[in-house]
Amino acid sequence: MTMQALVQVLASGLLTGLIYGLVAVGLSLIFGLMDVVNFAHGEFLMLAMYATFGLVMVSGLDPVVLMPLVAALMFVLGGTVYVGVVRFAMRARANQGMVQIFATFGLATLLQGVAQYLFTPDYRSLSNSWLGGKTLDLGGIFLPWPQIFGALVSLAAFGGLFLLMTRTDFGRALEATREDQGAVALVGIDCNRVFALGWGLGAALVGLAGAVLAVFYYIHPGVGGAFALIAYVTVALGGFGSVFGALAAGLIVGLVEAATALILPPSLKSVGVYALYLLVVLVRPQGLFGRL
Amino acid sequence: MAGTTITAAPTGSLPLDESARRFTAKRRRSLYVGAVVFAALAALPYAIRDVYLQNVLVLTLLYAALSQSWNILGGYCGQISLGHALYFGIGAYATSILFVNYGITPWAGLGLGAVIAALVALAIGWPCFRLGGHYFSIATIVIAEAGLLLVQNWDFVGGAMGVQWPFNPDAWATLQFAQDKVPYVHLALGLFVATWLVTYGVAESRWGYGWRAVKDDPAAAQSLGVEVFRSKMAAAAISAFFTAIGGGLYAAYVSYIDPESVMSFRFSLLFALPAVLGGVGTLWGALVGAVILIPITEISRSYLGGTGSGIDLIFYGALVMIVSLARPEGVLSLFKRTRKARNAEI
Amino acid sequence: MSANTSGPILRVDDVTLAFGGLVANRDVTLDVARGEILGLIGPNGAGKSTLFNLISGVYRPNRGRILFEGADITRLPPAERCRRGIARTFQVPRSFDSMNVLENVTVGALARHPTAAAARRAALETLERVELTHRTEAVAGELTPPEKRRLEVARALATGPSLLLLDEVLTGLTPSEAKAGVGLIRRVAEAGVTVIMVEHVMEVVMPLVDRAVVLHLGSVLAQGLPAELVRDDAVITAYLGERHRAA
């Protein structure tokens, strides 16, 4: 293998990895906040892709411009899902773990149905973005612009998230609620409000990821499944609840996937990721950056 | 009840014998109820001659059996596996490959698949049972998904194309019945009865008590002499064993399998769902859940899903969501509640 | 299991356990005589519950040994220690909340009965012993806190222990409930079971125990007869002093 090929693999792996981190971070955030695994996370992503698609169709604007609007819509959706579904799942006195799994799984199926109803099961793609189909040529290393853009959005999102968590009252409330719900209630922070905002934030982040992916990936009602699995692996690898674990694990997953594709047939590219995940979790059950 | 100090309970041997007697009577009553329900289910396909409804019945009983198998590990032992599609796939593939490639009767395939699945469950459990809560569930998803990928790329078992069973005349030896679905109803029912009997027997045995203790509080369980790790391993092996038999029967029933149609993640959730809806860790939860869920799924799919409009998915998703939110303890708990309320009124 | 009946039933030999930089137990050495009721007292954070966890096998010490009936059990898992005759309760009751009272106790009884039927019968007898028969079929999750403590004691007793570790079983009870609890512990001890009890409230424990060990900051501060300890200056400063400040 030439040096150039290796650099190519590394570079594409890094770009993909940053996008995976962005796909996963919302899931990790919500889990860290309230110990809930959202089994509709992939469908959130799918909806964000369709939202981008739909808005482009209606407005004729470039998907890049519409990205903030998609994130905002997803924020509202996330908050609504908390208030309308998850809040009730949290109240279950028996089998809470299973209620959470199946309430969000039911939601996932319902959202798939909604997408199929509105957009049919056909595969769609956006071809009219100014990013579409363009590649950057760095001395023989080819990097597609949509992926570069996605990676930049991811970095910006993680930077913003870092500022939000450390510099704002909301971020501190979020952190405090993660530490100790009971104490937080005592100092007068409304947990339900923090949770709803947390779900909004988590959904907005996966919304950004969806808007990014919509530019270069096929859009269909089942698209969430594949990404959801990567998100679970990423979150478990980085450590449930660890926001920056998600970023690091996303990068690792992207790189390992790219490296596996060199050795094994492309259809087996995820096997390397799964194997790595299992190895890590067996040695460090809490993941790379998780707390037990 | 708070602060009750009237602990001068009736002494003497009466409550002891009374409790023992009531316990035995309750156990015997469960068996009678089981016998009646199973006899009725065995007779049902003769009353329903409609092939479509017979198909619904086969699927309902098969899902009941699969969910009862899942329930042993997930409901009784509290280890929420979301990777049972792997064991289902092992059963389906073992049965199909032995029969299609080597002409060996599916009955042997059922047994071989079950044993392989149990061994795989032990191999997976050995490292994974050290993981707690969500980490365990996610690990099972990933392992099953890795299995799916491997099967898709394994030419010997047909790769992504799958395995087509050859056309055979109806016979019990080949488990092929093209003319009539009644034998399949009885096969699925037989598997459910087997899982029910295992659950019935084990629930009140050393293992059953150990499993429920592990589910509720592993730390307390081990302080009372329960071998937590071994309990989980036993539950996983039994659970995988019966799930694989279900996979083999399913393959014989549909005569064609491919990786997506027997091993995708959806199935892992679908196996758990009836037990969760009916009541996890109960004797009848899986059947009650399947009886509610599967006919609704099938009928809504036929009448709403044909157009691909997605309405069947909306309906199904909403149903799952609402039932799990409204009844965390499962539908069966409704009856318990009313019985308790009735007793209170008397 | 009636190995050398002459020596102490339990010997904690120079045991140290640290979590990261925090030393929970330092150089703890103590003997427990067969048949005695030993009080393990000390302020919050003194390392009492950690010592229980070391004896019952939840933790393994960084250094030192634990001998039970003369045999080294330092590396044995909790379930094996239970089978050898060590039973315990937890500071925060850990009942099996989806199971009823009888089933809870049956789990314990299975430690020494081969079949479930025999275990169930033994469990019923144990419930009579702790006067909980009127709640046999109640779901454990629905018990009152004092009932839950009683259930924990029953569950531990059902394993047929020769050494019983009671972690704050009298805490939070009304005076009359505490009195009933004290009676139960006395009866258990009279039946030949050695008892170690952690208790925070000295006034309750002192009249009950034969001997007491005071832990402070993870180490043994003093041990002896209750009457001597309550006059010990070091104990008063470390323990009563703190309580008086808190009061």
**HEC secondary structure over C212-236:** EEEEECCEEEEEECHHHHCCCHHHH
Q: How many beta carbons lie within 10 A of that of residue C129, not counting itself?
A: 17
Residue B135 touches chain A, beta carbons under 8 Å: yes
Instruction: State both tokens at B120.
Output: 């795989």
Note the pLDDT tens digit of each residue in B161-209.
899 998 888 889 888 888 788 999 999 999 999 999 999 999 999 999 9
Cβ contact, residue pair B224, C120, below 8 Å: no
Residue B307 touches chain C, beta carbons under 8 Å: no
The dihedral of CA C102, C105, C109, C115: what is its sign? positive
Half-sphere exposure of residue B289: CA atoms within 13 angstroms, side-chain side = 34
Residue B316 touches chain A, beta carbons under 8 Å: yes
Is the pLDDT at C223 greater than 80? The verdict is yes
Among the partner-chain residues C77, C82, C103, the one whose CB lies closest to the CB of B209 is: C103
Mean pLDDT for B271-285 is 91
* Amino acid identity for residue A232 in this structure: Y
Cβ contact, residue pair A232, B313, below 8 Å: no
C212 to chain B, minimum CA–CA distance in Å? 24
B8 — pLDDT class (breaks 50, 70, 90)? very low
Mean pLDDT for B265-283 is 90
Asked if A121 and A220 count as a contact pair (C-beta separation under 8 A), the reply is yes
Half-sphere exposure of residue A254: CA atoms within 13 angstroms, side-chain side = 25
> Which of the two residues, B83 and B342, has the higher pLDDT score?
B83
Residue B11 is predicted with a pLDDT of: 47
Residue A115 touches chain B, beta carbons under 8 Å: yes
> Which of the two residues, B120 and C46, has the higher pLDDT score?
B120
Residue B337 touches chain C, beta carbons under 8 Å: no
Residue C208 touches chain B, beta carbons under 8 Å: no
First to last CA, chain B: 19
Note the pLDDT tens digit of each residue in B297-314.
888 888 876 667 788 888
Question: DSSP letters along A99-140, please?
Answer: HHHHHHHHHHHHHHHHHHHHH-S--B----STTTT-EEEETT
What is the rounded distance in angstroms from the CA atom of residue B269 to the CA atom of residue B249? 19
Residues of A within 8 A of B277 (CB-CB) are 102
- Closest chain A CA to residue B125: A282
Note the pLDDT tens digit of each residue in C120-129.
999 999 999 8
What is the rounded distance in angstroms from the CA atom of residue B120 to the CA atom of residue B155? 21
Of C19, C90, C25, C79, nearest to C54 by C-alpha is: C25
What is the rounded distance in angstroms from the CA atom of residue B143 to the CA atom of residue B129? 13
Residues of B within 8 A of C55 (CB-CB) are none
Task: Name the E strands within chain A.
Answer: 135-138, 141-144
What is the rounded distance in angstroms from the CA atom of residue A158 to the CA atom of residue A152? 10
Q: Flag residues of chain A having pLDDT under 50.
A: none
Strand partners, C215: C220
Instruction: State both tokens at C131.
Output: 């006067």
Cβ contact, residue pair C78, B205, below 8 Å: no
Strand partners, C223: C213
B170 to chain A, minimum CA–CA distance in Å? 38
Residue A292 is predicted with a pLDDT of: 53
Among the partner-chain residues C97, C106, C108, the one whose CB lies closest to the CB of B216 is: C97
Residue A285 is predicted with a pLDDT of: 82
Asked if A56 and A63 count as a contact pair (C-beta separation under 8 A), the reply is yes
**HEC secondary structure over chain B:** CCCCCCCCCCCCCHHHHHHHHHHHHHHHHHHHHHHHHHHHHHHHHHHCCCHHHHHHHHHHHHHHHHHHHHHHHHHHCCCCCCCCHHHHHHHHHHHHHHHHHHCCCHHHHHHHHHHHHHHHHHHHHHHHCCCCHHHHHHHHHHHHHHHHHHHHCCHHHCHHHCEECCCCCCECCCCECCCCCHHHHHHHHHHHHHHHHHHHHHHCCHHHHHHHHHHHCHHHHHHCCCCHHHHHHHHHHHHHHHHHHHHHHHHHHHCEECHHHHHCHHHHHHHHHHHHHHCCCCCCHHHHHHHHHHHHHHHHHHHHCCCCCCHHHHHHHHHHHHHHHHCCCCCHHHHHHHHHHHHHHC
Task: Name C132's Cβ contacts closer than 8 Å, sequence gap at least 6.
Answer: B7, B9, C101, C147, C150, C151, C154
Is the pLDDT at B118 greater than 90? The verdict is yes
Residues of A within 8 A of B308 (CB-CB) are 116, 120-121
Residue B170 touches chain C, beta carbons under 8 Å: no
Pairing of strands C37-41, C211-216: parallel
* Amino acid identity for residue B249 in this structure: L
Chains contacting A (3+ CB pairs below 8 angstroms)? B
Of B231, B121, B104, B260, nearest to B175 by C-alpha is: B104
Chains contacting C (3+ CB pairs below 8 angstroms)? B
Instruction: State both tokens at B22.
Output: 């009531």
To the nearest whole number, what is the mean pLDDT of chain B? Answer: 88
Note the pLDDT tens digit of each residue in C82-117.
999 999 999 999 999 989 999 999 999 999 999 999
Of the residues B135, B155, B216, the best mutation for testing chain A's interface (the one with the most A CB atoms within 10 Å of its CB) is: B135
B160 — pLDDT class (breaks 50, 70, 90)? confident
- Closest chain B CA to residue C161: B224
Residue C134 touches chain B, beta carbons under 8 Å: yes
Mean pLDDT for C23-29 is 91
How big is the A-B interface in CB pairs under 8 Å? 153
Cβ contact, residue pair B328, A121, below 8 Å: no
What is the rounded distance in angstroms from the CA atom of residue A3 to the CA atom of residue A15? 19
Tell me the percentage of chain B whose pLDDT exceeds 70.
91
C233 — pLDDT class (breaks 50, 70, 90)? confident
Residue A180 is predicted with a pLDDT of: 67
**ipTM for this model:** 0.89
Domain locations in chain B as residue ranges = 42-263
Cβ contact, residue pair B209, C83, below 8 Å: no
| CA angle (B254 as vertex; B249, B257 as ends), nearest 5 | 90
Is the pLDDT at C180 greater than 50? The verdict is yes
Q: How many beta carbons lie within 10 A of that of residue A45, not counting itself?
A: 29
Task: Name A147's Cβ contacts closer than 8 Å, sequence gap at least 6.
Answer: A12, A15, A16, A19, A216
Tell me the percentage of chain C whose pLDDT exceeds 90.
59
**Cα C15 vs. chain centroid, distance in angstroms?**
18
Residue C108 touches chain B, beta carbons under 8 Å: yes
Among the partner-chain residues A102, A109, A281, the one whose CB lies closest to the CB of B316 is: A109
Residue B344 is predicted with a pLDDT of: 47
Q: How many beta carbons lie within 10 A of that of residue A167, not counting itself?
A: 10
Residues of C within 8 A of B19 (CB-CB) are 102, 124, 133, 136-137
Cβ contact, residue pair A93, B127, below 8 Å: no
Asked if B96 and B115 count as a contact pair (C-beta separation under 8 A), the reply is no
List B residues 241-300 in contact with C (Cβ-Cβ < 8 A).
281
Mean pLDDT for B13-35 is 83
**Cα A79 vs. chain centroid, distance in angstroms?**
16
C226 to chain B, minimum CA–CA distance in Å? 29
Supply the pTM of this predicted model: 0.89
What is the rounded distance in angstroms from the CA atom of residue C207 to the CA atom of residue A213? 73
Is the pLDDT at B7 greater than 50? The verdict is no
Residues of C within 8 A of B337 (CB-CB) are none
Asked if B225 and C83 count as a contact pair (C-beta separation under 8 A), the reply is yes
Asked if A182 and A17 count as a contact pair (C-beta separation under 8 A), the reply is no
Residues of A within 8 A of B265 (CB-CB) are 225, 229
Residue B15 touches chain C, beta carbons under 8 Å: yes
Q: In what order do the strands lie in the sheet with C37-41?
A: C86-88, C163-167, C194-198, C37-41, C211-216, C219-224
- Residue-wise burial string across A190-202, b where 16 or more C-beta atoms lie within 10 A, e elsewhere: ebeebbbbbbbbb
What is the rounded distance in angstroms from the CA atom of residue C78 to the CA atom of residue C164? 14
- Closest chain B CA to residue A86: B325
Cβ contact, residue pair B265, A221, below 8 Å: no
Task: Name the E strands within A32-84.
Answer: none
Residue C100 touches chain B, beta carbons under 8 Å: no
Cβ contact, residue pair B224, C136, below 8 Å: no
Instruction: State both tokens at B18.
Output: 């009374």
| Counts of helices then strands in chain A (DSSP H, E) | 12, 2
Q: Is A91 left (phi over 0), alpha (psi -120 to 50) or beta?
A: alpha
Residue B6 is predicted with a pLDDT of: 38
First to last CA, chain C: 47
- Closest chain C CA to residue B8: C131
Asked if A121 and A139 count as a contact pair (C-beta separation under 8 A), the reply is no
Residue B187 touches chain A, beta carbons under 8 Å: no
Cβ contact, residue pair B15, C136, below 8 Å: yes
Of B178, B169, B175, B179, nearest to B188 by C-alpha is: B175
Cβ contact, residue pair B149, A271, below 8 Å: yes
What is the rounded distance in angstroms from the CA atom of residue A63 to the CA atom of residue A52? 6
Cβ contact, residue pair A275, B146, below 8 Å: yes
Of B338, B314, B294, nearest to B60 by C-alpha is: B294
Residue B130 touches chain A, beta carbons under 8 Å: yes
Asked if C146 and C158 count as a contact pair (C-beta separation under 8 A), the reply is no
| Local structure of residue A219 (DSSP, 8 states) | B
The kind and range of the H/E element at A62 are none
Residue B181 touches chain C, beta carbons under 8 Å: no
What is the rounded distance in angstroms from the CA atom of residue A22 to the CA atom of residue A17? 9
Pairing of strands C211-216, C219-224: antiparallel
Residue A182 is predicted with a pLDDT of: 63
Residues of C within 8 A of B15 (CB-CB) are 124, 128, 133, 136
Residue C176 touches chain B, beta carbons under 8 Å: yes
- Tell me the CA distances in angstroms from B5 to C29, C173, C177, C178, C207, one per residue in order: 39, 11, 6, 10, 22
What is the rounded distance in angstroms from the CA atom of residue B62 to the CA atom of residue B92? 13
Torsion angle, CA of B304/B305/B310/B313, rounded to 10 degrees?
A: 90
Q: How many beta carbons lie within 10 A of that of residue B343, not counting itself?
A: 8
Residue C72 touches chain B, beta carbons under 8 Å: no
Mean pLDDT for B271-295 is 92
- Residue-wise burial string across A75-85, b where 16 or more C-beta atoms lie within 10 A, e elsewhere: bebbbebbbeb
Cβ contact, residue pair C180, B5, below 8 Å: yes
Cβ contact, residue pair B217, C94, below 8 Å: yes
- Closest chain A CA to residue B126: A282
What is the rounded distance in angstroms from the CA atom of residue B301 to the CA atom of residue B317? 12
